[in-house]
Each structure stands twice: as C-alpha cells, then as structure tokens.
Structure 1
Amino acid sequence: MVHTPETRLQIEVDKLDLDELNQRFENAHPREILAWCVANLPTGFVQTSAFNVDDLVITDILYRELKPANPVPVIFLETLHHFPQTLELVKKATEIYNLDLRTYKIPDINTREEFAKVHGEALWDTDIQKFHFLTKIEPLQRSLAELETVAWITGRRRDQAPTRATMPIFEKDIKNRIKVNPLANWTRKLSWDYAFEHKMIYNPLHDQGYPSIGDEPITTPVADGEDERAGRWRGTGKTECGIHI
C-alpha cells in the first residue's frame, strides 16, 4: 500500500492517546510539553506565531533551551496590516534566534494599499469575516498544507478568553492534525515572569497598553480592569479571528 502524506498523517495521529497526554501534562511546565513534542512527534512539527509575548516564550524554549536538530519552522502570517513595531520585532527575533521563519500572506498582493484597491477601504469594517479569511485563515491553512504539518503549536492560554477556558493542551484540528497548546495552563503573569527572567525581547507596544497585539486598524489599547483581549476587534463582539475555530 502506498501511503500519501495525508494517510501517513492519519496513521501517526491515530497512534496518539490525547486523553492520556492531556492528563499526563496538565500541570507540566511548557518546557516539558515542548520537549515531549520534539522527541516524539514526526517531521511536520511547526509553530504558528503572531510574536506576542506568549508566542516568543515558546520560541525561546524551542530555540534557546531545547535546540532540536531540525529547527522547528515558525509560521508568521503577514496580513499587510501589522503595526510597524510588530514587523521590526519579527526581524529582530529572526536574527537573534536564527529562526526558520516561514512567512505567508494573501497571494499576489504585497502592500496595504494594494489590498485596499482590490478589496476596498477598511474591509475590516464592512466584512471582518472576509478580512480575516483573506489575511489569516486561508494563508494559515495553505502554510500548514504546504509544510505537510502533522502537529502545530499555538501560544493560547486558557485565561485569555472564555472561549479558551476549557482548552486542552493536546487537541486535533479540522484536518486531524495535532494542535499543541503548551501554555494552556499558564497565566499572563507566568509568561511575563519567564520573559523577564530570560531577558527576552518583546513588542514595545506591550508597554503602551496593548497586552494582545493584532492588526493595527483593529487593535486598540486596553484600559485598567479590562480583559487583556478587549482591545482586539473592539465593538464587534468577536473574541476570535477564526483560525482557532
């Protein structure tokens, strides 16, 4: 029998007992979770990163502490609408860690101005679902397929939003790939404690009232007492962009 990448993925994934893994690692440090992944998951293991502090904690563990023989590719979605500070951070982090960075974006459009000409001014105001599909969902799914991804890492935490409160550490996505959330049982404080302890670089916008940073046109500062993701898609009722739903 000839195994295609898709059937090989199914075979590998079906061998894993996610319930057992979630029980085993429920109280584990992210380092332990990532070390298990590096040692046990096949090729096709990637990190998705928006270069928020949580994502960089994971990158720091993978690239500075664990240093696998085959560096874990880091997928960055270039939405064309990032803050300049975010793009500068991506450049700095790539140099510091010598990242295997894989950047994906909407095809055939290279600037914010070109995007507006094709899809209209402020598409996020008229059709935010389409905006997120074009800039995030489609490029992410394309990246995972092209990299023949078997398992991918996210920087999500349970305390970030009600939609994430019961998130497991190990789960499956709609394509039956393993989705690993090594910071699921962490808090914002623990991520920042780690960042300061290891003198990590981070987005300067975090010091300017932006605990969670997305696209510039639809990310606002957060006031004292607000949820850390309150500045994302303010006034729309959205709590997720769609890539994790």
Structure 2
Amino acid sequence: MTAVLSPSIDLDQVNQELDGQHPAQILAWALAQFPTGLVQTSAFNVDDLVITDLLYRQLQPAAPIPVLFLETLHHFPETLELVKKAESHYKLDLQVYQIRGVNDRTEFAQKFGESLWDTDVAKFHHLTKIEPLERGLLELGTTAWITGRRRDQAVTRAEMPYVELDKLGRYKINPLAAWTRKQSWIYVAEHGMMYNPLHDQGYASIGDEPLTTPVGEGEDERAGRWRGLGKTECGIHI
C-alpha cells in the first residue's frame, strides 16, 4: 500500500487545542477538517456507539459518515444483532469488511484449521481484522478515521493523543481519549442508548467470541480479551 496524502496539520498544536474539549467538539473539529474521507471504525462496543450517537444524532453531518465494521466471522450473536439494530436505528452508512473467499466459521475452519486463534493468534488477527481493515480504509478513500479508544482502557493507551497519524499517513482521531469508562456509561444512560447485553453479563470489553471472557471484580477492563496470551492489542492500533 502507498501512503495517503492528508491535509497538513500541526499535531502538537491541534492536540493542545483539543485538550479538555467534549468528544462532540472534537468530532465537530474532525467534520470541519475532513469534509471528505472521514470514516468511523466500530466494533459496536459502548464507546464506539457513543461516537456513533454523537455523529448521527447530535452532529448530523450533511453526508453520513461511513461506519466500518469488521465481520470477523467469530463475533458473538449478540454483537451481530446489535449491529443490525444500530444500523436501522441510526440509518447508518454501514460498510462491512471481512476476509475474502470465506463466508462463515465452518469455511474458515476448513481453510485455516480448527481454533486458529489458539495455534497462531497473530495470523488469526491478520486474516480477520488487520487485512480487512486496511482494505476497507483504502477502498473508502479514507483520509482520517475515528476510533473509540480511551486512555484508561490499557497501559498501552495511556499517552494516546486526540489526533495522530497511522502508518500510511492517515489521521487517527480519538475523541474519547480523555474520557473514562464511567463517563461513557453515564452518556449511555442519559440518552437511553442501546448497548450489547453481554455487558450485563460481565463482559467489559467485547471482541471475538473465542477470545473474550467475562472480567472479574477488580480486573482491568480489557482483561477478558485474549486472556492468557499476554496481548494488549489485536494489531489494528499498533
């Protein structure tokens, strides 16, 4: 892949200017800065849905912002049902990307073996997330993409800026960087938002079904992701 030409932005200056602003204000800045080529990437976790609600209900840009969802073929049924509900409720410009040439878990297992996530989790993530994401961002003509990451989610995200560059020179915008998990849930309650029912069953952060477990009391929010594998990221945000 070749580098993407993006508008010239002084990252240090813009991160100082955005510091302390509400996520809605950061998103408004993004809409003004990137009238085209702006994409939201979403796994339909609570933080992603907060951003979608801000974009589609509150800010209401003239043209809907594409929402890029990675169909890994290994999601919980509850997650896929939530995607359908959110697409209908917000009338999303939903863009679904998945591995080429494979249509379901059975075909995936036949092609790559049973439980690839156990034998080669890096390959599993490349096939189901990294390559489809890169292809999706490229095909959508992305100049800047919005994530739902927060600094308090993991030590690897503690210094995350509001705006940064990815490896191809596209801008990554993290409007919830300074928010806490509590603030996201307060927003959900205040606006009566839908959310994944698995959150009520102890799943603090929800990814692929084979690699996600409930979180125990006192555990880190993302402790249930890739439990026992020593991972903190799937590779998308590295």
Q: Is the 8 A contact 1:47 1:154 kept in 2?
A: yes
**Matches of 2:32 and 2:131, distance apart in 1:** 30
Correspondence 1:225 to 2:198: no
Correspondence for 1:84: 77
Q: How far apart in 2 are the matches of 1:42 and 1:119?
A: 41
Match of 2:139 in 1: 146
1:90 partner amino acid? V
Query: Could you tell me how far apart the structure 2 residues matched to 1:103 and 1:162 are?
Result: 30
Taking structure 2 as the reference length, the TM-score comes to 0.98
Moved over 6 A (4+): none
Q: Across the two proteins, how many residue pairs are aligned to each other?
A: 237
TM-score, structure 1 normalization: 0.95
2:22 to 18, 29, 48: 29
2:55 matched to which residue of 1?
62
Structure 1 residue 42 displacement after superposition: 3.3
Q: Deviations over 1:6-65 (max 9, x none)?
A: 78x52x43x211111100111111000001111221311000000000000000000000
SS at match of 1:134: helix
Aligned to 1:39: 32
What SS is found at the alignment partner of 1:171? strand
The alignment's C-alpha RMSD in Å is: 0.9
Aligned partner of 2:227 in structure 1 is: 234
Residue in structure 2 matched with residue 3 of structure 1 by the alignment: none
Please say if 1:203 is aligned against 2:187: no
SS in 2 for 1:226: coil
- Structure 1 distance, partners of 2:19, 2:156, is 18
1:1-245 aligned within 5 A: 9-10=4-5, 12-13=6-7, 15-245=8-238
Q: Secondary structure at the match of 1:43?
A: coil
Q: Structure 1: 5+ residue runs without aligned partners?
A: 1-5
Identity of aligned residues (%): 68
